[in-house]
Chains A and B, each alone.
Chain A
Amino acid sequence: MSDTTNQLLDNLNALAAGLFLLTAFGIVAMRQVRGCLNLFIAQSLLLAASAALLGLRHHSEHLYGVAVVNLISKPVIVPWLLRKTSPAEIYTRREIDQVLNIPTALLIALSLTILAYFLGIPLLNAVAPQFRGPNVPIGIAGLLLGAFTLTVRREALPLLIGLLVMENGSFLAGISISRNLPLLVELAIATDGLVIVFIMGVLTRAVQKQIGTTAVGELSNLKETAGPPARETAT
Chain B
Amino acid sequence: MFNHILFNLIQVLVVMAFAPLASGVLSRLKEIVQSKRGPSIFQPYRDLWKWFHKDEIVSEDSSWIFRFTPYIVFVTPIFVALLIPVLTKYPLFFAFMGDMIGGGFVLALGGFFATLAAVDTANPYGPMGASRTRMVGFLAEPVFMIVFFTVSFVAGSTIPYIVQEKWVTPLANFFMPSHVLLVLAFLMLILAEGGRIPVDNPSGHFELAMIDESKSLEYSGRGMALMKWGGYMKMFVLLCIFLNVLVTPWGLAGGQTLGAVLLAIPKVLLKIFCFLLVLVVIESSLSKLRLFRIAEFLGAAFITSVAAMIAEVFFP
Contacts and interface: CB of A to CB of B under 8 A. Distances in A.
B303 A8 contact: no
A22 B314 CA distance: 17
Contacts of B178: 18
Interface in B207-231: none
A137 B311 CA distance: 10
A22 B177 CA distance: 11
Interface residues of A, number: 28
B295 A103 contact: yes
Contact of A15 (B170, B177, B295): B177
B181 interface: yes
Contact of B176 (A14, A25, A102, A117): A14
Q: Which of A7, A22, A29, A114 has the most CB of B within 10 A?
A: A22
Contact of A106 (B173, B303, B310): B303
A7 B300 contact: no
B314 A15 contact: no
Nearest to A16: B177
A113 B307 CA distance: 9
A77 interface: no
B175 interface: yes
A46 B299 CA distance: 23
A109 to B, nearest CB: 8
A121 interface: yes
A8 B310 contact: no
Given A18-B181, A22-B181, A103-B299, A12 B170 contact: no
Interface string B265-294: 000000000000000000000000000000
Contacts of B41: none
B181 A8 contact: no
A102 B180 contact: no
- Name which of B175, B181, B300, B304 has the most chain A CB atoms within 10 A of its CB: B175
Nearest to B174: A11
A21 B178 CA distance: 12
Contacts of A134: 177, 311, 314-315
B314 A137 contact: yes
B311 A110 contact: no
Contacts of A4: 170, 172
Contact of B303 (A7, A15, A110, A133): A110
Interface string A74-92: 0000000000000000000
A38 to B, nearest CB: 14
B47 interface: no
Given A22-B181, A106-B299, A11 B173 contact: yes
B295 to A, nearest CB: 6
A188 B176 CA distance: 33
Contact of A18 (B180, B299, B300, B303): B180
Contacts of B311: 14, 18, 21, 134
Contacts of B172: 4, 7-8, 10-11
A45 to B, nearest CB: 16
B252 interface: no
Given A4-B170, A11-B175, A117-B314, 14 more contacts: A7-B170, A10-B172, A11-B173, A14-B177, A15-B175, A18-B307, A22-B181, A22-B304, A26-B300, A106-B299, A106-B300, A114-B310, A133-B315, A134-B311
Interface of A: 4, 7-8, 10-12, 14-15, 17-19, 21-22, 25-26, 29, 102-103, 106, 109-110, 113-114, 117, 121, 133-134, 137
18 contacts: A4-B170, A7-B170, A11-B172, A11-B175, A12-B175, A18-B178, A18-B307, A19-B177, A22-B304, A25-B300, A26-B300, A29-B296, A103-B296, A106-B300, A110-B306, A117-B310, A133-B315, A137-B314
6 nearest A-B residue pairs (beta carbon): A18-B177, A8-B172, A11-B175, A7-B172, A103-B299, A15-B177
